[in-house]
Amino acid sequence: MGGHARILTIAGSDSGGGAGIQADLKAITMLRGYGASVITALTAQNTRTVTGIHAPSARFVAEQLRTVLDDIRVDAAKTGMLFSEPIIKAIAPLLGKRTFPLVVDPVCVATSGAKLLKADAVKAMARLMFPLADLLTPNIPETELFTKVRIRDREDVFKAARLLLDMGPKAVLIKGGHADSLATTDWFVPRDGEPMPFMQPRIATKCTHGTGCTLSAAIATGLGQGMEMGAAIKRAQEYLNLCLRAAEPLGEGGGPPDHLAPWIKETAKPGVLRDLARFGVRLAADPGLAPLLPRGRANAVAALPHADNVDEVAGFPGGVIATRRGGVRVIGEPEFGASLYAARTLLAVRRLRPDLRCALTLGLGQGMKRALEAAGVEIVWIDRERRPEYVREDNGALEEWGAFEGLRDHPSPETVCAVGDPGGTGFEPVVRLLAGDLACLDALLSRVFDCWRRS
């Protein structure tokens, strides 16, 4: 297998493919690990419900585990649905002899509400599996079940974490997905250290089936690849957050994250660069556009699907400029990370309007405001006077803050297709047109250009 880390998942099978073994293997594969599996139970399951559970004998589950370990050098493992006390008793002694990191995800209830751990197995889980865990990853309901502490605030999380640590794991990660907050905060508490928050933006989606499985499998993959615990958790969080942003409904219930999201991003790169290069040729071929550009450097940018940083937004390294002879020059071949101001503006609006994928900077010279109004372009304006002290005025930070604030406060953000910046000392007034793709951006530019010529 070359350099692939070998990651073992010990969990139940989800016939709907969104959680359990299926989710684990997808996450392990996407993070470039090799996944092996021990199946503890078969579930008849879809996005709405679990209609039945059939478990193999504890002896056979142990035989699966023993057979894998006898032949494959496992680099890390995770457990998920262990279902019954006999299964836990059968595998715990084998895992007690391991030489690799173990993540224990104490799965008790499916996203649909179905119980995945028998009542008699709760005490066995805590007594036999928790002491084996290098990391224990309960969600809030599971934390409350095992500690009898009602989680209402951060202090309750810390109290519960210490109780869990007293049960034997080396570290605990209490997942905050069930909390009511703007961000998702997972609290990492090592046995001999202080609590540490790991935060990600909360994604407004119903596609949360299998998120715990995905996160624990991703953490185990990182540990198997030699990552330090904190780094493994952070990467796993980022992977899950991306998968949630990419998720689309699968059935009538809560669907799963899209485990293929990193692959979708990667394979989109050549097409984004190709289409942006063609758009640049179109700009350079129309010298009539020169008066619409700012006096300084402008740029045209296009984002990858689910882009969340500047390095995932392509632009022209030398920008788009109006020449002294009245032409338009596009400098350089498009590359990712080549733009700052336009890219950060686009990323800001994408937090509320993920359908917007590209932007083009124009000047706010004579007649432009009238042209934009005549073209029916709905604009949000950056209010520089409201800039908080913590927001810097360089490197696009103000543009990012102002674009997000303006769109968030707009009564109909779905109608907005431009961000205006009135400028200030050292900053030229500009407007950035926004569109879902470069063809739509071209059409919007043509409409504005026609109105500008008639103004």
> Tokens representing 123?
């005490």
Distance CA 352, CA 180 (A): 19
pLDDT in tens, 348-393: 999 999 999 999 999 998 789 999 999 999 999 999 989 898 988 8
* Torsion sign, CA atoms 224, 26, 307, 272: positive
Q: Based on the residue annotation, tell me whether 210 is a catalytic residue of this protein.
A: yes
Q: Which of 29, 137, 184, 208 does the annotation list as catalytic?
A: 208
Q: Based on the residue annotation, tell me whether 358 is a catalytic residue of this protein.
A: no
Q: Which of 210, 254, 255, 363 does the annotation list as catalytic?
A: 210
For residue 39, pLDDT over 50 is answered with yes
DSSP per-residue letters across 159-188: HHHHHHHTTS-SEEEEB-TTS-SSEEEEEE
Q: Which of 207, 213, 243, 417 does the annotation list as catalytic?
A: 213
CB 340 within 8 A of CB 396: yes
CB 31 within 8 A of CB 222: yes
pLDDT of residue 182: 66
Q: Which of 26, 118, 175, 265 does the annotation list as catalytic?
A: 175
CA distances from 162 to 79, 193, 393 (A): 21, 11, 44
Q: Based on the residue annotation, tell me whether 208 is a catalytic residue of this protein.
A: yes
pLDDT of residue 455: 75
**Percentage of the chain exceeding pLDDT 70:** 96
pLDDT in tens, 290-317: 999 998 889 999 999 999 899 999 999 9
| pLDDT bucket at 187, cuts 50 / 70 / 90 | very high
CB 56 within 8 A of CB 81: no
Q: Which of 79, 137, 211, 214 does the annotation list as catalytic?
A: 211
Cα-Cα-Cα-Cα torsion 153, 159, 162, 163, nearest 10 degrees, comes to -110
pLDDT of residue 1: 46
Q: Based on the residue annotation, tell me whether 185 is a catalytic residue of this protein.
A: no
pLDDT in tens, 229-245: 999 999 999 999 999 99
Q: Which of 12, 20, 35, 212 does the annotation list as catalytic?
A: 212
All structural domains of the chain, each given as residue ranges with its CATH number in brackets, are: 5-259 (3.40.1190.20), 263-454 (3.40.225.10)
Q: Based on the residue annotation, tell me whether 47 is a catalytic residue of this protein.
A: no
